[in-house]
Amino acid sequence: MGKQTWLLVMGAGGLAGCNPTLADYCAPGAPECRPADAGPPDGTTDRGDGGDGGDGGNETEASPSACDSSKPPHDDPCVIDAAYGVFVSPTGSDANPGTKSAPVRTIGQGMDLAKVARRRVYVCAGSFAEQLVVAAARDGVNVYGALDCATWSYGLANKVVVAPARTGYALALAGLQTGVTFEDIEFDAQSATPAGAGESSVAVFASGSQNVVLHRVTMVAGTATDGSSGASPGGPNPGGGAGASNWYGTPPGYSELNGITAGDAGGAPATTCVCRDQSSSTGGAGGGPLNIPTPTAGLPSYGDAGAGAGGMNALSCGSGGTAQNGGDAPGAIADLPGTSLGACSASGWTPGVGVAGADGKAGQGGGGGGNGRLSNGSGGGGACGGCGGAGGKPGLGGGSSIALLSCQSSVALVGCTLAARAAGRGGAGGSGEAGQAGGAPGMPTGPGAGVGCAGGPGGAGAGGNGGQGGPGGLSLGVGYSGVSPTIDGAVVSQAASRTGIAPGSAGSGGAGGSRGSAASSSTGPAGVDGAPGQNGVAAAVGILP
């Protein structure tokens, strides 16, 4: 691949209870005076667990004077105590109080209990099939893994894995202000559903969250799926059904394009035909007896001198009374291809989409016929020009595989391991529709030898352009928008590679759709082939739009 530049484009009220000048001043050590993430201030006893280790006694809480409650289990085992935390085990029950001997079953329940008690969450080894969502109600609750389920001692071999059984984020962080810390936990996302076109796999998603800290956390994304192909007129599209035609009239004859036959009392009126995309063409009106009206030209005019001109009154049909054929539509112009790979927002990562192929332009209507040599005939109406073919629809971008997706969030990683898998390919662009041939001219009438002249046939519409292919998906260890992540103490704006981060393969862009052909039995122009989609990006750290 050539050298390129890429862009994946406490408040006053909380302290009132601790102000001795106020009536509701709390005594030192009262619960509201304790910092978050700390246990009771004295050596009180936890009465609700039924004992520890089957001895029928109570779990005695540690005294803060003997233990620094700010330290994690990795640094000081004394904090692994009921005074400081709620305990979670894969063999527990969410009906339990969350003690060592009666732990809860899910990390989410542990966080809810810890939020009320202003404590931490301690998780012992095992697998947890939950999609963990941490929003405002759980803000400020820290979670620590790598604990043994029997002894509740710390050890890196005590692997804690959060791996939901269904697709979606393993961990979602939304709207956090105080922030959270996760230590020694693995978050694994399922691969995208094979039937889900353009579906991504993201292990951890942070949205609008501050102070997110991940220590020795492993994040593993699954494979993503390919984007769907764009619709072609008459063919299948991603939502089922068929791409709509831009042609005017009723198949197979499309007689509505034909010019109107003149009446004995006057020239044929003009005919206007409106295509599905609201472009139109008009066949000119024929001349009438006594030179009223004068024949009119067909529209639209593309600057081709004489094309679609009306015939002249008082002339024989072979000497200028017959109208001119409508001109064919001008040649198509290539569409400017899109370059966006997708967008990051509060709802997650949305793959990009190619650019739709432009519809072809309509052909010019034929002119109206003159009233004949004796000026007492009625000229036929000009036919409508054919409509341009519909452009092919764009391909959908391939899904992305992203271990950590951070949108407008501040995230710090320390000693983490991240792995992404293969991203999806972009879907192919849809083919353009052929141009429509113009209608047949309207016939004249008149008494005896005073017959008027025929109108002109309509010009052919141009073929539609092919749709652009969808962009390839991204494979990123960290993909972010907004604030750059901090990795092991360093701000990393982007990096193709980095120790501990293993991206997979980027998705390739989808093929461009084929151009719509020229109208049958005409010299009208064809469309332009659609551009291929942008290739995706694989990197350790990438900036997102």
Alpha-helical regions (H) of 72-214: 107-117
Across all residues in the chain, what is the average pLDDT? 88
Rounded Cα distance, 194 and 350, in Å = 17
Q: What domain count does the chain have? A: 1
DSSP class of 494: -
Of residues 520 and 121, the one with the higher pLDDT is: 121
Q: What's the rounded mean pLDDT across residues 285-292? A: 89
pLDDT reported for residue 55: 34
pLDDT(101) > 80: yes
pLDDT(494) > 50: yes
| pTM of the predicted structure, to 2 decimals | 0.82
Q: What's the rounded mean pLDDT across residues 67-89? A: 95
- 56: its two tokens: 């029928």
Which of 47-56, 249-258, 405-414 is modeled with the greatest confidence? 405-414
Q: What's the rounded mean pLDDT across residues 290-314? A: 92
pLDDT reported for residue 444: 93
Rounded Cα distance, 116 and 107, in Å = 14
pLDDT(63) > 60: no
- 230: its two tokens: 């764009």
Burial of 210 (0-12, 13-18, 19+ CB in 10 A): middle
- 200: its two tokens: 């991504």
pLDDT reported for residue 349: 97
Looking at residue 128, its amino acid is F
Q: Which of 13-17, 213-217, 228-232, 235-239 has the lowest mean pLDDT?
A: 13-17
pLDDT(361) > 50: yes
Q: What's the rounded mean pLDDT across residues 108-127? A: 97
Q: Pairing mode, if any, of strands 218-220 and 417-419?
A: parallel
Cβ distance 538 to 474 under 8 Å?
yes
Q: Which of 62-76, 128-142, 377-391, 414-428 has the lowest mean pLDDT?
A: 62-76
Strand order in the sheet with 490-491: 85-88, 120-124, 143-147, 180-183, 212-215, 411-414, 486-487, 490-491
pLDDT reported for residue 247: 95
Rounded Cα distance, 8 and 90, in Å = 38
Is residue 6 domain-resident?
no
Q: Could you tell me what percent of the chain has a pLDDT over 70?
A: 85
Question: H/E element holding 478?
Answer: strand 475-481
Q: What's the rounded mean pLDDT across residues 42-68? A: 45
pLDDT(51) > 60: no
Burial of 332 (0-12, 13-18, 19+ CB in 10 A): buried
DSSP per-residue string spanning 509-542: PPPPPPPPPPPTTS-PPP--PPPPPPP--EEEEE
Cα 327 from chain centroid? Answer: 41
pLDDT reported for residue 456: 96
Is residue 448 domain-resident?
yes
Residue 448's pLDDT band (boundaries 50, 70, 90)? Answer: low
Q: Which of 65-74, 123-132, 483-492 has the lowest mean pLDDT?
A: 65-74
Give me the torsion for CA of 284, 286, 290, 292, rounded to 10°.
Answer: -30
pLDDT(46) > 50: no
pLDDT(37) > 80: no
Closest residue by Cα to residue 528 from 362, 358, 402, 412: 358
Residue 349: half-sphere exposure toward Cβ, Cα within 13 Å? 40
pLDDT reported for residue 65: 58
pLDDT(399) > 50: yes
Q: Which of 153-162, 258-267, 444-453 has the lowest mean pLDDT?
A: 444-453
Is residue 440 domain-resident?
yes
Is residue 46 domain-resident?
no
**Which residues constitute the domain of residue 381?**
244-333+350-394+431-470
pLDDT reported for residue 278: 95
pLDDT(94) > 60: yes
Cβ distance 400 to 423 under 8 Å?
yes
CA angle 21, 26, 32 (to 5 degrees): 125
Q: Could you tell me what percent of the chain has a pLDDT over 90?
A: 78
Residue 326's pLDDT band (boundaries 50, 70, 90)? Answer: very high
pLDDT reported for residue 233: 86
DSSP class of 108: H
Rounded Cα distance, 106 and 122, in Å = 11
CA distance to 213, 229, 362, 428, 464, per residue, from 356 (Å): 42, 12, 18, 11, 10
Cβ distance 392 to 232 under 8 Å?
yes
Residue 269's pLDDT band (boundaries 50, 70, 90)? Answer: very high
Q: What's the rounded mean pLDDT across residues 405-414? A: 98
Q: What's the rounded mean pLDDT across residues 162-174? A: 96
pLDDT reported for residue 451: 87
Q: What's the rounded mean pLDDT across residues 327-350? A: 95
